[in-house]
Amino acid sequence: MKIAVYPGSFDPITLGHMDIITRSSRLFDKLIVAVLKNVEKKGLFTIDERVDMIGKLVEKYDNIEVVSFEGLLIDFMKSVDARIIVKGLRVGLDFDYELQMSHMNRKLSKDRVETILMMASTEYSYISSSSVREILHFRGDISNFVPGDIVQDIYKKVGIDGGVV
């Protein structure tokens, strides 16, 4: 069974993330969306809220599991018997970072783990979680950047009742 892991903070999950999730779920027998618990960052959403949101969005897929993890990705990969990391690329800067991480993970795993880099679809290549958080900070409309099923959940979390005008 080919198991792949798509790791990230997903704070919040965007249409770009969902694009990578749905496309990669068609390539592997099982896709684990692994929500990173970064103790050094205070996220907009708790880890449990992120896992629940993503779980709600992928419940129609039989081969996608959503879990949280902390520590080294390679240790998590070993615990779920996965050998493939899926990462999405939007711009050239993403490539430089992901290339370095790919080499690091391959070395840490003693060549057991490979990284698959997926290009973001053009219509999502400019979207990032940090830009969504910035739009939210100024009470802007995020409906073109995150899945429609969770827009109101996000507005509620930041105290914007009923959405924005």
Query: Residues 84-98: pLDDT tens digits?
Result: 999 999 987 789 899
Q: What is the pLDDT of residues 41-69, one digit of tens each?
A: 788 999 999 999 999 999 999 999 999 99
Is 92 marked as binding a ligand? no
Residue 93, burial from CB neighbour count under 10 angstroms (0-12, 13-18, 19+): exposed
Residues of the chain under the 70 pLDDT cut: 162-165
163: in domain: no
Residue 110 known to be catalytic: no
Count CB-CB contacts under 10 A for residue 61.
Answer: 13
Residue 157 known to be catalytic: no
Among the listed residues 24, 25, 109, 129, the single catalytic one is: 129
Residue 41 known to be catalytic: yes
72: in domain: yes
Among the listed residues 78, 90, 106, 157, the single catalytic one is: 90
**pTM of the entire predicted model:** 0.94
Is 125 marked as binding a ligand? yes
What residues contact residue 77 under an 8 Å CB cut-off, 6+ apart? 5, 83, 85, 109, 113
Is 126 marked as binding a ligand? yes
Among the listed residues 41, 42, 60, 110, the single catalytic one is: 41
Number of domains in the chain: 1
Residue 121 known to be catalytic: no
111: in domain: yes
41: in domain: yes
The span from the CA of 13 to the CA of 111, in Å, is 30
57: in domain: yes
164: in domain: no
- The CATH number that applies at residue 66 is 3.40.50.620
46: in domain: yes
| Structural domain boundaries, residue 110 | 3-157
Q: Are strands 84-89 and 114-119 parallel, antiparallel or unpaired?
A: parallel
